[in-house]
Structure 1
Amino acid sequence: MSRHANATPNEKNEYQVTEKDLPLHCPTPEMSLWNSHPRVFLPVTETGSAKCPYCGAVFNYVGEKHGHH
């Protein structure tokens, strides 16, 4: 995820994440208001996407899926 210099705090509501963003939690350190709600970890690798129950941000995983064998 990249920080946008002209973005207002938590302006985006959809993010693409990769292996380097794991373990994924919301809010992320890149979000302007990183302390805007309690940190919640999201299991994005299991389903390919996850939605934050606090702010509604959607995270789409664009890496290799980690399925159970």
Structure 2
Amino acid sequence: MPVVLTDSRTLSLPTVGLDQAGGAQLAVEHLLGTGAHTVHLVAGPKNSIQSQQRQQGWRRALQTAGRPIP
């Protein structure tokens, strides 16, 4: 049966990779561009690599824009 997984990790099956940090950064940049003063983050479990990557992108976007990190 053909299967395609979406994941950020390297697996032994064919996968479609997700750029968690880049996606979070782009989302925050977009929201700031619409006039938002800041953007809060609900990233997921603290022990999740994907959550940590989203937090990195979120933080990077806010810092680049000179905005406080809530």
Interval containing the TM-score (normalised by the shorter chain): under 0.3
Report the structure number with the largest CA radius of gyration: 2
Q: Which is richer in strand?
A: 1
TM-score (norm 1): 0.27
